[in-house]
Amino acid sequence: MKKVTAAIIEKNGKILITQRPRTDKLALKWEFPGGKIEPGETPEQCLVREIKEELDLDIKITGHFMNSTYKYETGEIELICYLAEITGGEIMLNFHEAAKWTEKGKLNEFDFAPADIPVGQKIRVSFHL
């Protein structure tokens, strides 16, 4: 099973979501930003690296939020989600098609990648800003 990380980043009452590139196998699906864990990396190290590479943001992980498992046609993934806050940088789209700050109650209006759907559901019902 492939292990992947995601960041739940809240700022001013809104959650950061990103849209996958149109050339991706999950083209234009929305997700919580993050990426694949490389050999020798902890999930936390992976998430800090991925957010820097993909969005040019520095983050601090503040806690574990949840895990989500999903079986795609290409294989099963475990999505390990952490709460994080931005400590520096400005959003730069180095990988994604778009990035958006949205209210937690509006997350269901976006077409999320399947592994991210349970994360959005949990945020809507249990995330206290």
**Tens digit of each residue's pLDDT (9 = 90 or more) over 108-126:** 999 999 999 999 999 988 7
Average pLDDT over residues 13-19: 96
CA distance 6 to 43: 9
Q: Is the pLDDT of residue 39 over 60?
A: yes
pTM: 0.94
Average pLDDT over residues 63-81: 94
Pick from 39, 37, 8, 2: nearest CA to 116: 8
Q: Is the pLDDT of residue 95 over 80?
A: yes
Are 37 and 113 within 8 A, CB to CB?
no
Of residues 55 and 75, more confidence is placed in 55
Q: What's 32's DSSP letter?
A: -
Task: Report the largest interatomic distance among the alpha carbons of the chain, rounded to a whole angstrom.
Answer: 37
Q: Which residues pair with 112 in a beta bridge?
A: 30
Q: Which two tokens stand for residue 118?
A: 């349970």
Average pLDDT over residues 1-26: 94
Q: Is the pLDDT of residue 127 over 70?
A: no
Are 112 and 79 within 8 A, CB to CB?
no
Q: What's 33's DSSP letter?
A: S
Q: Is the pLDDT of residue 128 over 90?
A: no
Amino acid 74: pLDDT:
87
Q: Is the pLDDT of residue 25 over 70?
A: yes
CATH of domain 2-126: 3.90.79.10
What integer best gives the mean pLDDT of the chain? 94
Q: Which two tokens stand for residue 41?
A: 């990396």
Domain edges within the chain: 2-126
Amino acid 125: pLDDT:
85
